[in-house]
Structure 1
Amino acid sequence: AGHTTVKIQRSHFIDRGFPRHFIMIEEMTAEIIAAEKNAYGKVIRMMAHEVNNTIGPVNSIIQSAMATNALWQLPDTDSLHDALQVAIERNYNLNIFMRNFADLVKLPEPKTNKVDLCKILQNVVTLMELPAKDKHILLNFYKPETQFYITADEQLLEQALVNIVKNAIEAIGENGDVNVILDNKKRTLTIQDNGKGITGKENELLFTPFFSTKKDGQGIGLTLVREILVKHGFEFSLRTEEGLTRFLIKLQ
């Protein structure tokens, strides 16, 4: 005789003010086991995706530091010091994100505060500059002269922005420009690249979970970006026009 796998759960419901306890026994068929494994696999892939988004840029910063002879004896070490500080902060923020994600097995609700978007974007640009430079891609940040305050969850928003900038760099491949444009008057953020662009068919599926235009893509990054921006109440769009792909976020 074959073996049967079952899952036993104890729960209760309220009946006329009194708790009624019961035990549910569910036979775990091969189909149910496969579905659960698939669900866990999706969660694990999403977590791995976000870890990899940080490991790559941080490794580039560390490798650049190690390749610099007499590192701290050079006359100008401010830029390298800033890059290392960003790497430390990014690892700290990733740790918070992953802990919250693991605790809830879903994207945590935003814990919003008044934050300076210029500072968040500067950290993202500093983090991604070296990976972009390795591919001969110029990463430009056009920011207003004054501080740009919004109400947001700093860790979640930074996670989304890292994904958007990384996607823009990957869309170019080699030799190009990524422009991060923060407009104080219009209250918008635009991340623009001159990469291969998005076709009409791809545009319809862009924010579909696990759909990717990249050969080895997981289709996780844009899904995460969408969830974070929706939870913040920010309107956004992604489209290619006249050879430029723009991710526009309205920060009203």
Structure 2
Amino acid sequence: MRATWVFTAVTLLLIAGAVVAPFYVTPLKVLLVAEGCIVAILILMSVLYRSLIRPVSALINGVDLLREQDFSSRLSKVGQWDADKVVALFNDLMARLKKERLRVREQNHFLDLLIEASPMGIIILGTDNRVMMANKAAVVILKEEQLPGKTLGELDTALGAELATLEKGENKTVRLSDTKIFRLSRLSFMDQGYQRPFFMIESLTDEVMRAEKAAYEKVIRVIAHEVNNSMAGITSIFDLLSDYFAESEPDLKAAVASCSDRAMGLSRFITSYANVVRIPEPVLSRVDLVGHVESILPFLRDMCGETVGIVTMFPDVPVSVDIDTTLMEQAVINLVKNSVDSIGARRGTVTLRISVDPPVLEIIDDGPGITPEAASKLFTPFFSTKPTGQGLGLMFVAEILRRHKCGFNLSTSPVDSLTRFTIRFK
């Protein structure tokens, strides 16, 4: 409004000067009038600058601040009531934007810390279905140092393949060949108007293992108690019958002896299950892994017989590990026996390989291998791939290795068709 009055005053002054000047102008007066007009115009131009140019310049500066997202700066008042109202409104808007951006940044920072510290693996995909972000837990679980930029199908892990098959909103529980169990979930969130998919990988290994262990321990104890109590009386009766028919009925004595052997076999069978749940806590000592395995090689070679050969690939330097030598010896013997059983009657080779850094023991055989269907069930209680198996061997080995806090897995490579049981020591 003030700018309009200024422009009006300038216009009227110029018109009045043009009308009055012819009646009063003399050469000297012309000079004075001209100088007066110039001074008046300069004064009016100064007022014009303050009234119009400064408010427009302030608005331009405000637009520049918004463009650069500089919400900390403020506009100064220009001394004009209507323009100062706009400046005050703009400054209030900038303060609100600064406060909101700070709040969003704090929330995002907290969310980033929460995601990074979460024990649950979290993977966020971009619009091109490539990994945009993955936290530390996801990197550790998937064993992929460079996750960003890859598609889930490009991940060289069993979990990566399982994640790639998940549909939106789907949950799946996966058991891997190294006894680890994960719950996989695919969800989505809105980001800039688009639905962005993300995955959660939750480890259930400890919870499921504890539940399974408590369940089978209880079942085994109850069965062992009931069966062994009954077997004690039954075998005593069989012994009495055997003595009674010793001379008069040799055929009956043989039948009774056979029944007694079967009863004792059942008792030993149940006792072997009970022994699994009575594995003692390991007493750790620092030993050379190479020397420890070499000490049981004669027994292992004798166990393999003539058709299965043992090949060793040991380093020339000691490999120090903290183990319970008795329990680890039993674990290695069980694993080699499993390899020999898988090879069967044909000729084959069992390879024992030890690596130095990190300490790793591998038992490798060229048997028929493990089917994908069996791979996820190998370490579950009472599961066996052998027709007459009890499902105790691998369960026993897994329990020993877990108590040693060793990492382990059993798999058949599609490249060379060799089956490897890998033990990773702490």
Scaled to the shorter chain, the TM-score interval is 0.5 to 0.7
Q: Are the counterparts in 1 of residues 224 and 271 from structure 2 also a CA contact under 8 Å?
A: no
Q: Are the counterparts in 2 of residues 240 and 246 from structure 1 also a CA contact under 8 Å?
A: yes
The gaps in structure 1 that reach 5 residues or longer are 1-32, 50-97
- Counterpart amino acid of residue 164 in structure 1: L
Alpha-carbon distance, 1:248 to partner: 0.6
Instruction: Report the counterpart of residue 222 of structure 1 in structure 2.
Output: 394
SS in 2 for 1:146: coil
Instruction: Report the counterpart of residue 322 of structure 2 in structure 1.
Output: 151
Q: Is residue 2:167 matched to residue 1:167?
A: no
- Give the whole-Å Cα distance in 2 for the aligned partners of 1:215 and 1:39: 26
**In the alignment, which of 36, 41, 45 is matched to residue 222 of structure 2?**
36
What TM-score, normalized to structure 2? Answer: 0.36
Q: Are the counterparts in 1 of residues 323 and 404 from structure 2 also a CA contact under 8 Å?
A: yes
For residues 1-252 of structure 1, what are the structure 2 equivalents within 5 Å?
36-37=222-223, 44-45=268-269, 48=272, 106-134=278-306, 136-173=307-344, 174-242=346-414, 243-252=417-426
Q: Alpha-carbon deviations, 1:124-148, whole Å to 9, x = none? A: 32212123233x1111111111122
Larger Rg belongs to: 2
> Greater strand share, 1 or 2?
1
- Counterpart amino acid of residue 335 in structure 2: I
Question: Using a 3 Å threshold, how does the CA distance of structure 1 residues 137 and 151 change in structure 2: closer, same or farther?
Answer: same
Question: Using a 3 Å threshold, how does the CA distance of structure 1 residues 48 and 146 change in structure 2: closer, same or farther?
Answer: same
Q: Percent identity?
A: 33
Alpha-carbon distance, 1:35 to partner: 8.0
Displaced runs of 4 or more, over 4 A: 38-44, 46-49
- Counterpart amino acid of residue 355 in structure 2: D
Alpha-carbon distance, 1:46 to partner: 7.0
- Counterpart amino acid of residue 244 in structure 1: L
- Counterpart amino acid of residue 223 in structure 2: K
Instruction: Between the two structures, name the one with larger relative contact order (CA 8 Å, sep ≥ 6).
Output: 1
Q: Alpha-carbon deviations, 1:128-176, whole Å to 9, x = none? A: 2123233x11111111111221111111111111101111111111201
SS in 2 for 1:205: coil
Q: Are the counterparts in 1 of residues 303 and 337 from structure 2 also a CA contact under 8 Å?
A: no
- Give the whole-Å Cα distance in 1 for the aligned partners of 2:290 and 2:355: 11
Size of the aligned set, in residue pairs, is 168
- Counterpart amino acid of residue 351 in structure 2: N
The gaps in structure 2 that reach 5 residues or longer are 1-218, 228-265
- Give the whole-Å Cα distance in 2 for the aligned partners of 1:213 and 1:112: 32
Q: Are the counterparts in 2 of residues 124 and 161 from structure 1 also a CA contact under 8 Å?
A: no
- Give the whole-Å Cα distance in 1 for the aligned partners of 2:220 and 2:269: 16
- Give the whole-Å Cα distance in 2 for the aligned partners of 1:145 and 1:46: 44
Instruction: Report the counterpart of residue 59 of structure 1 in structure 2.
Output: none
- Give the whole-Å Cα distance in 2 for the aligned partners of 1:40 and 1:144: 50
Q: Alpha-carbon deviations, 1:79-115, whole Å to 9, x = none? A: xxxxxxxxxxxxxxxxxxx9xx69xx61111111111
Instruction: Report the counterpart of residue 17 of structure 1 in structure 2.
Output: none
Q: Alpha-carbon deviations, 1:37-58, whole Å to 9, x = none? A: 3567699537548xxxxxxxxx
